[in-house]
């Protein structure tokens, strides 16, 4: 009996279907990413994705003692959706154990694909969720975002960005910020 992670493309039907029912309903993943389908004893349970670190994140750089140039060494758990089969998980603490397996696997895959040594992980959890899974897996709650959402539209931005970024300040969605150190730089 074991957890198996199968590397998949971000366009894989398994993940795109889960994105539709996930609480955050992401429309896709921007930047670097590696996606996995989650299996236990050859039964599919969900998907998990590691991606580029968030550019501006409260307390993250201080937690890891890094600067902006080191962000390629941090993996953001940008999507994690796991479901029960026959109304149950196969083992106790299944979701945390999957997260730990994901960390071990993506460290190897990230370094192979992007040639950056991984020093840690970050994850954002939308309130009112508490992030208990991340605490069980050894993460530290390091802060909370203000909840702004950035939407990209056509047009000219005020900086070097191609396109126009619009910040939605009317529908704030604050998130808890979790981080976990793996290696020191």
pLDDT per residue as tens digits for the range 39-92: 999 999 999 999 999 988 999 999 999 999 999 999 999 999 999 999 999 999
Pick the CATH number of 3-142+173-181 from 3.20.20.210, 3.40.50.300, 1.10.10.10, 3.40.630.30: 3.40.630.30
- pLDDT at position 185 over 50: no
pLDDT one-digit tens code per residue, 15-48: 999 999 998 888 888 889 999 999 999 999 999 9
- pLDDT score for 146: 84
- pLDDT score for 151: 58
pLDDT-based confidence at residue 148 (cuts at 50, 70, 90): low
pLDDT one-digit tens code per residue, 93-147: 999 999 999 999 999 999 999 999 999 999 999 999 999 999 999 999 999 998 7
- pLDDT at position 149 over 80: no
- In angstroms, the CA 63 to CA 68 distance is 13
- pLDDT score for 169: 57
């Amino acid at each position: 009996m074991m957890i198996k992670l199968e590397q998949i493309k971000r366009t894989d039907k398994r993940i795109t279907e889960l994105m539709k029912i996930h609480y955050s309903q992401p429309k896709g993943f921007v930047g670097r990413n590696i996606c996995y389908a989650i299996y236990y004893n050859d039964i599919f349970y969900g998907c998990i994705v590691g991606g580029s670190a968030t550019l501006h994140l409260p307390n993250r750089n201080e937690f890891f003692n890094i600067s902006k140039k080191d962000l390629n060494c941090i993996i953001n758990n940008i999507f994690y959706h796991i479901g029960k089969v026959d109304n149950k998980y196969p083992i106790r603490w299944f979701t945390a154990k999957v997260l730990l397996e994901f960390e071990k696997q993506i460290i190897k895959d990230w370094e192979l694909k992007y040639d950056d040594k991984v020093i840690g992980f970050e994850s954002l959890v939308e309130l009112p969720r508490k992030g208990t899974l991340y605490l069980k897996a050894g993460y530290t709650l390091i802060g909370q975002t203000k909840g702004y959402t950035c939407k990209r539209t056509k047009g000219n931005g005020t900086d070097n960005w191609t396109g126009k970024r619009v910040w939605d300040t009317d529908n704030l969605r604050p998130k808890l910020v979790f981080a976990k150190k793996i290696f020191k730089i």
